């Protein structure tokens, strides 16, 4: 079977599917569509066709692309056109998760499967409301129970919708915490002289220089001359009283 025959059928399958399609799903659907033919498509042909489709729609003049996201292949609009699409979705598109919900979702994503008690032990607050909202938005699912804890509490994990929403294929694609911390550059604090005074640095330097100069010494015999008003002589100055 030629790739030129397969590619258009793969494109329409990805376009029409309500969920991401894996390569295995596409292989089965293609072979069912061409069931009357003796030659069947192989997984290698499907992989090659998908790579060709991905390269085709990565061209700049296409407003959408074919990407492997949410565990399978799907058509996605390119980021540059998201503001345009937002007009169609209105308020629903603009809604964001609360800080509490994001904290809870992050803990579940990195610690899954995890119980509500374990989530609350990490956050330090009750998480009933956040978990309920995440379940309603189908970003998390109940994955089972923890048989090793008293009462066998429910365990929570991220859903397929979570992977689809964030454009990842599995929890292994989440950024590693070490990588996130490594990207945060810690810069040294630069200490400047003006941070410790309200005066400009130049003026402060001049004052310091003046302060360092020796104070002139006035002899006792010069006191009367300095204290006398202008135009008067020492003769008008009364003699000091006898001790």
User: Do residues 139 and 74 both lie within one domain?
Assistant: no
Q: In the predicted model, what is the mean pLDDT of residues 96-104? A: 87
- Could you tell me if 104 and 177 lie in one domain? yes
Write the CATH number for 53.
1.10.10.10
**DSSP H or E run through 9:** helix 3-16
3 state SS of 51: helix
| Final residue belonging to a domain, choices 182, 199, 233 | 182
In a domain, 224, yes or no: no
Give the model confidence (pLDDT) of 119-160 as tens digits.
999 999 999 999 999 998 889 999 999 988 888 999 999 988
Domain that residue 32 falls in: 3-87
Q: Tell me the average pLDDT across 85-114.
A: 80
- 106 and 77 belong to one structural domain: no
Q: Is residue 126 part of a domain?
A: yes
Question: Does 207 or 17 have the greater pLDDT score?
Answer: 17
| Mean pLDDT value of segment 99-110 | 91
Report how far residue 31's alpha carbon sits from residue 1's, in angstroms, rounded to the nearest whole number. 10
More confident residue, 164 or 212: 164
Burial class (CB in 10 A: 0-12, 13-18, 19+), 54: middle
What are the tens digits of pLDDT across the range 32-57? Answer: 888 766 678 899 999 999 999 999 99
Prediction pTM value: 0.53
Q: Does pLDDT of 215 surpass 80?
A: no
Note the pLDDT tens digit of each residue in 6-25.
999 999 999 999 888 999 99
Domain count, the chain: 2
Helix (H) or strand (E) holding 180: helix 177-182
Q: Is residue 28 part of a domain?
A: yes
pLDDT reading at 221 higher than 80: no
């Amino acid at each position: 079977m030629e790739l030129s025959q397969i590619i258009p059928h793969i494109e329409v399958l990805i376009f029409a599917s309500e969920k991401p399609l894996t390569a295995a799903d596409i292989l089965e659907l293609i072979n069912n569509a061409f069931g009357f033919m003796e030659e069947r498509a192989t997984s290698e042909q499907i992989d090659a066709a998908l790579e060709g489709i991905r390269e085709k729609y990565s061209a700049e003049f296409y407003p959408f692309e074919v990407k492997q996201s949410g565990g399978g292949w799907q058509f996605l609009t390119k980021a540059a056109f998201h503001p345009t699409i937002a007009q169609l979705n209105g308020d629903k598109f603009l809604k964001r998760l609360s800080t509490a919900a994001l904290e809870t979702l992050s803990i579940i994503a990195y610690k899954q499967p995890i119980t509500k008690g374990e989530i609350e032990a990490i956050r330090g607050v009750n998480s009933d409301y956040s978990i309920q909202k995440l379940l309603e938005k189908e970003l998390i699912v109940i994955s089972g129970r923890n048989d090793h804890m008293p009462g066998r509490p429910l365990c929570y994990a991220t859903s397929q919708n979570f992977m689809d929403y964030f454009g990842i294929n599995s929890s292994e694609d989440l950024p590693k915490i070490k990588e996130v911390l490594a990207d945060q550059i810690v810069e040294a604090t630069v200490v400047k002289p003006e941070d410790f005074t309200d005066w400009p640095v130049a003026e402060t330097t001049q004052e310091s220089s003046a302060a360092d100069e020796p104070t002139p010494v006035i002899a006792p015999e010069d006191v009367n001359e300095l204290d006398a008003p202008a135009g008067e002589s020492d003769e008008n100055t009364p003699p000091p009283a006898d001790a």
